[in-house]
Amino acid sequence: MALNIKVGDTLPEGKFSYVPFTPELEDHTACGVPTQLSTNEWKGKKVVLFSVPGAFTPTCHANHLPPYIQKYDEFKAKGVDVIAVVAANDPFVMSGWGRFQGLKDKILALSDADAAWSASLGLSLDLTARGLGVRTNRYAMIIDDLVVKYVEVEAAPGVTVSGADAVLAKL
The residues annotated with a catalytic role in the active site are 60
3-state secondary structure (DSSP) of residue 150: strand
Tell me how long the chain is. 171
Residue type present at position 79: G
The vertex-36 CA angle with 24 and 20, nearest 5°, equals 20
Buried b (16+ CB within 10 A) or exposed e, 73-82: eebeeeebeb
Separation between Cα atoms, residue 138 and residue 51, nearest integer Å: 5
